[in-house]
Amino acid sequence: MTFFLQLVVTGFAQGMVYALIAIGFVIILKCSEVFNIAQGHFVLIGGYLGYTFLVPLGLPIWAALLAAIAVAIAMGLLIERLMLRPMVGQPVLAVVMMTIALATVLGGLATLLWGAEYKAYHGLLPTITMKVGEISIPSESVIGLIVSVICVVLLMLLFRYTKIGLAMRATAEDLQVVQSVGIKATTVYAASWVIASVVGVIGGILLGGVSGANMDLALIGLKAFAVVLLGGVNSIGGAIVAGIILGMLENVAAGYLDPLLPGGGLAQVFPFFVMIIVLVFRPHGLFGLAHIERV
């Protein structure tokens, strides 16, 4: 039983990481119908930025966080203006290839600037460790949970009470109507990229503070798409719930089945199995809106 619970709790931690990546993805998707493959790379950049600001530059935590957010805003604006603006109205393949290309460029930049090495900065961020009985709760899960909840609350407030939030919701609903009442769609797109990049970078810093920053963060990005699909591509709440479900399932499945399989490594592909199953049986996910299109 302890083994099972430990797997569930570890899975929960993993799931919160997925959820963090998935939230940024869903925001961009909702506002501009762009599938951002590079979301995991925002987290990667965030992890390394945290390292740079905290260790070589030695900034205090609040200053490092602010500096990283500033970089993230600049990055989001630049990416939207230079890469995604020309892609408005292009077919889905062109847009997806653009974000894949963006992912490789970001990965290349991370390699160039930080040498693709493992950078740890333990102990600089406040960590929370808890033990319930024999089960230790990893601080990733606590931090992931806190950040995800804060992000979601802030985003809900943003969507509910600000003008840009209203514009973003409207754009998600109907682009043509929004443009006809004089809302600049490009501003909305820019805002969505900025938010996604900030969410990704903050998540990256916190994860980096717990488990160190390395290139694997970007790979997790790919697995996070299973979360997005399971939760429904246009539901922020769904992303979190699905993240937790998938993280737990993955860990439990790997924990029990890996010893039975000769090659092991089930955790690496489990999200992809889920992805195929979801796509075949329920393409709009658990909480997404079903697009009915009869062919």
Partner 1 sequence: MAALLVFLFACPLFLSDRMLTILTTMGIAVVSVHGLNILTGYCGQISIGHSGFMAVGGYTSAILCAKLGWPFWAALPCAALAAGMAGLLFGLPSLKIKGFYLIMATIAAQFIIIWIIIQLRSITGGTDGLLVPKPVIGGISLSSKTNYYYLVMVFVVLATITAHNIIRTRAGRAFIAIRDNELAAEVMGVSLWSYKLQAFFIGCIYAGVAGSLLIHYVRFASIEQFPFWDSVWYLGMLIVGGMGSTAGAIFGVVALKLLDELVTVAGPILAAAVAPQAAASLALITHGLVIIIFLIFEPRGLHHRWEMIKTYFRLWPFSHQEIE
Q: Which is nearer to partner 1, 74 or 276 (CB)?
A: 276
Helix (H/G/I), strand (E/B), else coil: 137: strand
If one asks whether residue 283 binds partner 1 (CB under 8 A), the answer comes out as: yes
Q: Which is nearer to partner 1, 60 or 283 (CB)?
A: 283
DSSP state at residue 290:
P
Considering only residues 96 through 115, tell me which ones interact with partner 1, judged by CB under 8 A: 96-98, 100-105, 107-112, 115
Q: In whole angstroms, how close is the CB of 101 to partner 1 at the nearest point?
A: 4
Q: In whole angstroms, how close is the CB of 170 to partner 1 at the nearest point?
A: 23
Considering only residues 35 through 74, tell me which ones interact with partner 1, judged by CB under 8 A: 35
3-state SS, 23-74, equals HHHHHHHHHHCCCCCCHHHHHHHHHHHHHHHHCCCCCCHHHHHHHHHHHHHH
- Rounded CA-CA distance 50/61 in Å is 9
If one asks whether residue 136 binds partner 1 (CB under 8 A), the answer comes out as: no
Q: In whole angstroms, how close is the CB of 228 to partner 1 at the nearest point?
A: 9
Q: What is the DSSP string of 190-214?
A: HHHHHHHHHHHHHHHHHHHHHH-B-
Q: Which is nearer to partner 1, 121 or 270 (CB)?
A: 270
- Rounded CA-CA distance 198/196 in Å is 5
- Choosing from 61, 77, 87, 164, the residue that interacts with partner 1 (CB under 8 A) is 87
Stretch of 146-154, 186-194, 219-227, 238-246 lying at the interface with partner 1 (CB under 8 A): 219-227
- Rounded CA-CA distance 104/96 in Å is 12
Nearest in space to 121 (alpha carbons), one of 168, 52, 169: 52
Q: In whole angstroms, how close is the CB of 89 to partner 1 at the nearest point?
A: 11
Q: What is the DSSP string of 231-270?
A: H-TT-HHHHHHHHHHHHHHHHHHHHHHGGGSSS--HHHHH
Size of residue set near partner 1 by CB under 8 A = 43
Q: Which is nearer to partner 1, 90 or 136 (CB)?
A: 90
If one asks whether residue 229 binds partner 1 (CB under 8 A), the answer comes out as: yes
Non-local CB neighbours of 178 within 8 Å, separated by 6+ positions: 167, 170, 171, 185, 188
* Interface with partner 1 (CB under 8 A): 35, 83, 86-87, 90, 92-94, 96-98, 100-105, 107-112, 115-116, 222, 225-226, 229, 261-263, 265, 268-269, 272-273, 275-276, 279-280, 283, 295
